[in-house]
Amino acid sequence: MPVELRKRKAPAPVPEPPAKKQSKASKVATKVKAAVKGKPAKSANANGASKPAKPVVGDTITLDGFGGEIETNDGDKTTLKALVDESKSGVVIFLYPKASTPGCTKQACLFRDSYESLTEGGLAIYGLSADSPKANTTFKTKQKLPYTLLCDPSATLIDALGFKAKGTTRGVFVVDKAGKVLLIEPGSPAGTFDAVKKLVAESEGAAAKAEPAADKPEEKAAEKPEEEAKPTNGDAVEEKKADGEAE
């Protein structure tokens, strides 16, 4: 009698080990990765437009709308374009982190003490910080500052100029009437003042060189000796006649 072979039952599959609980750190990392994949590039703003590049020396910026609206220490609304339009040859803006602090006081007083020499060529000087109009008015009054202080609590202009970090980075910005950036750099209280002083001196030197060049033709004409008047034929005859009578 043939032996019947029985089929063995397949062994039950080994259960998968339970998934390990993600640590808080790994959960955060997973969320961040997912968020980064779904986000647009960081350079785009809320409207989807790319953020404008920070200005550098030699750039000509579009003044209209640049930096948004700011306030004077008197509470009047203004813009960079309005300030430039009101100036004779351009605007100097020195930026400081906080009104009435030692470094900012030193910086403001350096510009105060040389106000006349810095502005005689037509530049207008302003201080700019994220302080309130009240704080800046107190600062201006106490230090007897001859120029207006600009208040930018939202840091729209400060950011547009590239001086926004955790707070306001100390620096200086100079732009002419056409919107050309003449100076933009961070620096110490004395460093920002020295940079403007140097720029003004160079501008005055260039203007002084241009003036003599324009005056040279006039000077040559003035220096040329007057030629003696030559007698005409009629005058010569009269002179000879007079000489004959005298003899």
Q: Which two tokens stand for residue 96?
A: 């400081």
How far is it, in rounded angstroms, from Cα 60 to Cα 133? 30
Sheet containing 70-72: give its strands across.
77-78, 70-72, 148-151, 123-129, 90-95, 171-176, 181-186
Q: Are 95 and 161 a contacting pair, CB within 8 Å?
A: yes
How far is it, in rounded angstroms, from Cα 24 to Cα 7? 50
Of 70, 80, 92, 104, which one is the catalytic site residue?
104
Q: Are 123 and 87 a contacting pair, CB within 8 Å?
A: yes
Report CA Rg, the chain.
Answer: 38
Q: Which two tokens stand for residue 67?
A: 């930096």
- Is 104 part of the annotated catalytic residue set? yes
Active-site residues, by number, are 104
